[in-house]
Each structure stands twice: as structure tokens, then as C-alpha cells.
Amino acid sequence: DVVMTQTPVSLPVSLGGQASISCRSSQSLVHSNGNTYLHWYLQKPGQSPQLLIYRVSNRFSGVPDRFSGSGSGTDFTLKISRVEPEDLGDYYCLQSTHFRTFGGGTKLELK
Amino acid sequence: QVTLKESGPGILQPSQTLSLTCTFSGFSLSTYGMGVGWIRQPSGKGLEWLANIWWDDDKYYNPSLKNRLTISKDTSNNQAFLKITNVDTADTATYYCARIVNYGTPFDYWGQGVMVTVSS
């Protein structure tokens, strides 16, 4: 089974600042077709998760360009620049190369 | 407009079978590439993928729960179902269904979730 490790578990930030979340997989997420199926979600309090980034670095419809994803193989990063109040919540990575596995989550909160 | 909504029993007793229904609109599970997945989240904890079902009736299960899960669909009524047998308190969670468009792609639209409590 693929294990997804997210760090940090908690990330205090200031409004207007930058945040960086790491997601590491226990094996390569490069599929045999050459694609890398690593995605990012934000879950705001009391809401369902919402898709932010798909296939490492592609922003989903309506997602502001303050959100960016990068990485390859087993190491991936989500960066949020100019943090706004609506960005606070729990962030999850998801791999869908080998079945599906979520990371444990990162809580983005105010400093 | 894509929408999904989960429904379930609310509360059930240990050892019973949990039956969940996902009713959706805005897409069809008879369309090539479409799929529906089930995900759960215990209160205050992270997300756990459970199972996917595809337009061609292909099915995938979380290996750690595979023996207890059965996913199915009713294409004509735009519904997907999940059964979990022999539940215990560890199955207490909010259960979500979500759409998938093509293998490997993420869950793009999610339902609001339904809370299920297992208690004697």
C-alpha cells in the first residue's frame, strides 16, 4: 500500500504571508502511462473537501493563482502565497496512481 | 451542474450492515470514463478512500477494507451504493461520495456528506 506523509501537521501563518505544505509518498507516483496522479484539496470547517490542484501542478476551475503545486516522483509541495482568510482549513494530498490514498492532512491556521 | 447527495441510516448497531446511497445529477454513470467514489472521515480526523465504481461496472476497493465493502450502481436512476458489513464503532464517520472523470483523475465534485454513528 502507498503511504502518503504530509508535513507539517499544523502550519501557523499570517494573513498576506506564504505557506508551504509537503507531501511524500512511500513509492513513486509516476504511472506507467507517464502521468503523475497527485492532487491537493482544501477542506474548510464544516464543508466537504474542494479540489485545488490536480496532477501535481494544474489548478482546478476557479482556483486562484495564489495556489501552486510542484514536485515529482515521491516529493510534492503545495504553496499558497498571499494567504487570505478563506484559505484557512485542512489541506490534504491524494494519490491516485496506485488505488487511492490521502495524506494525513495539514491544518493551516492563523499565527 | 454536478451535484451529489449521500443518504444513510444515521445510526446502527455493531455487527449490522451499513447501506449508503449516493444520488447524483449533472452526469451519468453510463458515460464513458465516469466514476463515483466513496470516502469517509471520522470526526476530527483525516480522509480515507473506500471504493470506486466506473461506467463499465469496474470496481476498486481499499485493500484494508475490501472484505467488508460492496459497491454498486443503478445507472438508470443516477445512484451509486456502498455496503459495509459487520460494522463496529470504528466505522463511525461522515461518509462522502464524489465524482471521478477517468481513471487516475481526482474526485472533482463531492456531496455534502452523511454522518453515520455505530453504537450499541
pLDDT single digits (tens) A82-101:
999 999 999 999 999 999 99
What integer pLDDT is reported at residue A104 of this predicted model? 98
**What average pLDDT score do residues A52-75 get?**
97
The cell numbers describing A47, all together, are 464543508
Question: Do residue A35 and residue B47 have CB atoms under 8 angstroms apart?
Answer: no
Within chain A, strands assigned E span: 4-7, 10-13, 19-25, 38-43, 50-54, 58-59, 67-72, 75-80, 89-95, 101-102, 106-110
Q: Is the peptide bond before A8 cis (omega within 30 degrees of 0)?
A: yes
Give the helix/strand (H/E) hosting A79. Answer: strand A75-80
- Nearest-by-CA chain A residue for B43: A46
**What average pLDDT score do residues A20-46 get?**
97
Which positions ≥6 away from A65 have C-beta within 8 Å? Answer: A59
Would you call B69 helix, strand, or coil by DSSP? strand
Question: Do residue B104 and residue A37 have CB atoms under 8 angstroms apart?
Answer: yes
What integer pLDDT is reported at residue A98 of this predicted model? 93
Q: Is the pLDDT of residue A70 over 90?
A: yes
B21 and B14 Cβ atoms separated by less than 8 Å: no
Cα distance between residue B10 and residue B63, in whole Å: 26
How many other β-carbons are positioned within 10 Å of the β-carbon of residue B46? 15
What integer pLDDT is reported at residue B102 of this predicted model? 87
What integer pLDDT is reported at residue B104 of this predicted model? 86
Would you call A76 helix, strand, or coil by DSSP? strand
Q: What is the pLDDT of residues B6-37, one digit of tens each?
A: 999 999 999 999 999 999 999 999 999 999 99
Shortest distance between the Cα of A40 and any Cα of chain B, in A, equals: 9
Q: Please tell me the number of Cα atoms within 13 Å of A37 on its side-chain side.
A: 19
Give the bridge partners for B100, in sequence order: B35, B107
Question: Do residue A48 and residue B110 have CB atoms under 8 angstroms apart?
Answer: yes
Give the rounded percent of residues in chain A with a pLDDT score beyond 70: 100
Closest-CA residue to A42 (of A16, A60, A15): A60
**What is the dihedral sign for C-alpha A65, A32, B65, B24?**
positive
Q: Is the pLDDT of residue A73 over 90?
A: yes
Q: Is the pLDDT of residue B118 over 90?
A: yes
The cell numbers describing A26, all together, are 512511500
Q: For residue B90, which phi and psi values (nearest 5 degrees)?
A: -70, -15
Q: What is the pLDDT of residues B67-112, one digit of tens each?
A: 999 999 999 999 999 999 999 999 999 999 999 998 889 999 999 9
Shortest distance between the Cα of B36 and any Cα of chain A, in A, equals: 13
